[in-house]
Amino acid sequence: MISTRFTELFGVDHPIVCGGMTGVGTAELISGVAEAGALGFLTALTQPTPEALAREIARCREMTDRPFGVNLTILPTVAPVPYDEYRAAIIESGISVVETAGSNPAEHVAAFKAAGVKVIHKAVSVRHAVKAQELGVDAVSIDGFECAGHPGNDDIPGLILIPAAVRQVEIPIIASGGFATGDGLAAALALGACAINMGTRFVASAEAPVHRNVKDQIVANDERATQLIFREFNNTARVARNAISEEIATRSQRPGAVFDDVAELASGARGRTQVLERGRMEDGLWWAGQAQGLIESVETCHDIVTGIVTDAEKTIEQLASLRG
């Protein structure tokens, strides 16, 4: 058992997090993560309405009596999102911990803290982590350049970003981006983090509500099989490399390109329907980090978490034995 400030603060067995993932963070996966002794987050905006989110929270509670949270990602959208209503559904459902991400969460942090809800904010830079601490969040999840999703535009890998954040932030740091193994957990702890966040590794789990083709593709892919897109639009994103990501990259590099030139290809609905649900791996955009190069099998959440913690303990013992 590895005990850290993170496990003590959030009341879980292991310093491992499954952060919010659109289309993936549902009760099936998050209850499995919770039962394994880690902290998982339902993804609020995967649910079409705040009422549906409340039902998903209730459904997850039917599957586990262990702690879990909800992710609320605040991003610009074509259609307005009733964030205050989603926030109210989270609070009224008695959720004890929330993961915020995206834009400045100040309004939401204040409301959650007033309701006694702990907040973890995802950041992609030290300056954003410092700002989140000033807002009163309880922990920061810091995303290195290796991560799936939006790593920011600074291109700072975790080996630098994690200890740089630890130097300036007093609250617990969760290391995110590129983690899938026990060695990775041991390394994150050595760099000063209190836990690791994994997304891609949990997509390749038995409980993840995605087509088997997605899980098998993650196992087959190596660390080179991702692509950075949207950089031309100041919104860098790391996704799995496929025909759609290649076409987006090609269109984006044309003189005078705008996001509308790739919007139909980048549609989240298309990716969820064609890839996550139907397993048509070349027909939509889907998220994956460089950690897929470390993933060798599809396992249950229990086996993933237990294996990582056991391997981390062995690595820590081996390192201790190097002392003369």
Per the structure block, which two tokens stand in for 313?
A: 């303990």
Look at the alpha carbons of 22, 27, 28, 33 in this order and tell me if their dihedral is positive or negative. Answer: positive
pLDDT for 79: 77
Determine the average pLDDT of the residues in 17-46. 97
- Quick: pLDDT tens for 297-316: 999 999 999 999 999 999 99
- Quick: pLDDT tens for 146-200: 999 999 999 999 999 999 999 999 999 999 999 999 999 999 999 999 999 999 9
pTM for this entry: 0.96
- Quick: pLDDT tens for 211-244: 999 999 999 999 999 999 999 999 999 999 999 9
Place of tokens 């549609």: 267
Compute the C-alpha angle 270/273/277, nearest 5°: 150
- Quick: pLDDT tens for 255-301: 999 999 999 999 989 999 999 999 999 999 999 999 999 999 999 99
Is residue 324 scored above 80 in pLDDT?
no
Region of 256 (left: φ > 0; alpha: ψ -120 to 50; beta: rest) is left
Region of 17 (left: φ > 0; alpha: ψ -120 to 50; beta: rest) is beta
Rounded Cα–Cα distance for residues 167 and 156 (Å): 16
Phi, psi of 73 (to 5 degrees): -100, 125
Place of tokens 């913690």: 309
Residues of the chain with CATH 3.20.20.70: 5-209+294-320
CATH placement of domain 5-209+294-320: 3.20.20.70
Reference 200, options 282, 124, 298; nearest CA is 298
Confidence of residue 77 (pLDDT cuts 50, 70, 90): confident
pLDDT for 75: 82
Determine the average pLDDT of the residues in 49-75. 97
Give alpha helix (H) positions in the chain: 5-10, 27-35, 50-63, 83-92, 106-114, 126-135, 158-168, 182-190, 200-203, 212-220, 243-252, 263-266, 268-270, 301-320
Per the structure block, which two tokens stand in for 91?
A: 């609070």
Contact 144, 123 (CB under 8 A): no
